[in-house]
Amino acid sequence: MSEPLRTVNVGLIGLGTVGGGVARLIKSHHDEYLAAYGIDLKLTRACALAWEQAEAAGIEREAFTSDWHDVVTDPAVDIVVELIGGEHPATEIFTTAFENGKHVVSANKALLGRHVETLAEKARACGVQIKCEASCGGGIPIVSTLEHDLVGNKILTIAGILNGTTNYILSRMDAEGADYADVLADAQAKGYAEADPSADVDGFDAASKTAILASIGFGTRVTTDDVYQQGIRTIGAEDIAQARELGYTIKLLGIARNTDAGVDVRVHPTLIPADHMLAKVNGAMNAVYVVGDAVGETMFYGAGAGSFPTASAVVGDILSLSEQISRGVVPLPEIEPYGHNLAFKPMDELQTKYYVRLKVADRVGALSETVDIFAKHNISISLINQVEDGKSGVSDACSVIFLTHRALEKDVQAAAAELASVDCVAEVANVLRIEDVEAWTEGVMAN
């Protein structure tokens, strides 16, 4: 490997779990990067709120600062790594770094999911790049795969388990028959879930990642606000058990489909066949399933979070930029941001099968009244299953599971609203979609 023309200097902002991992990787693998790729990588500046964080990550005292401005304005720094998350001051870090000629590497899915178009325009104008492999799927190399390895395809479907916390909770509920609240409390006690788990369990984290992946995969601008979002708080042990009996597994999925009717982007708990590849992804692991018209089905599996898996993706982006910088070549500016050139398919127009769990009054005629309401809203029932007495949690009521034939989302929601208002229904306990996984491969070229 030829010798580098110069050292590539990195400025790191944020020395938490991931930032500390990045610092350790750069230091411990410096000689390997130099030998294998001819890249002399140096962590020149590092910013954290307290020196103790920097010290724990092995940062030299002269490289440390508690003011991010010192990093983004340092003339020696080539690449700024932003790992603090959130919108502010992350937005200011990005823009000030661009104005000072710095490329930015980030894992900030919340910021990029909503504002990457504005940031990309700014980066392009300043002649620099944004890299964000670590923003989607932790250590899974999915962003570069979509940007480079699968670019010869029309991407038809991206579907994934994109949040480790929710997958951990649902996996334990499935394995132990436990309720959501109990598993969440235990996960919080063990540090697998945040004290405020809203971003995870309400689907925002997965929605941000779905937006980024759909934008890249479909070549159109998708923001987090474009993604339908529903979390897992309503999932009970009863739903998990019923799904298993019916041959399904419940997973929180980020789903993006490039259909003739428009881009279909959504995050919600869904029933998928128990023998599907995604159904077998358990614990805190992540997986992204991608269908291209030429390549067909592919799946990428790995740790979606954690210090070193995420740091692996961050350092991969750093090395990608450094390969040119170290040889005196200026990396090309950020590509022109994607426009909103594809229409969005309204969530109301989704057509699939549904699982509906009602708590119905235990009296003659109640069941037929509920069936009539489904029929009134053009919904055909394929299966009715009454759960054993004592599991409904409501006096004088029993849980009844309905599976529908294919129906429109707007009709199912209208039926659920009417069911909630009639005397014979004590509660509409859950309405879950049964994903049509066969549709994910529509459009694949025949070999």
Residue 2 is predicted with a pLDDT of: 62
pLDDT confidence of residue 394:
53
The two structure tokens encoding residue 396: 């004088």
Question: Looking at residue 392, what is its pLDDT?
Answer: 45
Q: Does 121 count as an annotated binding residue?
A: no
DSSP SS3 for 245: helix
Q: Is 370 among the annotated ligand-binding positions? A: no
Cβ atoms of 258 and 110 closer than 8 Å: no
CB atoms within 10 A of CB 376: 12
pLDDT of 389: 54
CB 256 within 8 A of CB 146: no
- pLDDT at site 191: 81
Fold topology of 6-136+307-325 = Rossmann fold (3.40.50)
Answering whether pTM is above 0.75, one says yes
201 is in an annotated binding site: no
First to last CA, the chain: 40
Q: Is 194 annotated as a binding residue?
A: yes
Q: Which residues of the chain have pLDDT under 50?
A: 391-392
Cβ atoms within 10 Å of 379's Cβ, excluding its own: 21
Phi, psi of 284, rounded to the nearest 5 degrees: -90, 10
User: 17: annotated binding-site residue?
Assistant: yes
Residue 209 among the catalytic residues: yes
Q: b vs e for 282-305, b when ≥16 Cβ sit within 10 Å of the residue's Cβ?
A: bebbbbbbbbbbeeeeeeebbbbb
Per residue in 100-131, pLDDT (tens digit) is: 999 999 999 999 999 999 999 999 999 999 99
pLDDT at 338: 85
Q: Which of 122, 209, 345, 359 is catalytic?
A: 209
Say what the pLDDT of residue 260 is: 93
- CATH number for the region 347-435 comes to 3.30.70.260
Distance CA 386, CA 384 (A): 7
The structure tokens 């790729």 sit at 37
Domains of the chain by residue range: 6-136+307-325, 142-303, 347-435
CATH classification (class only), 142-303? alpha beta
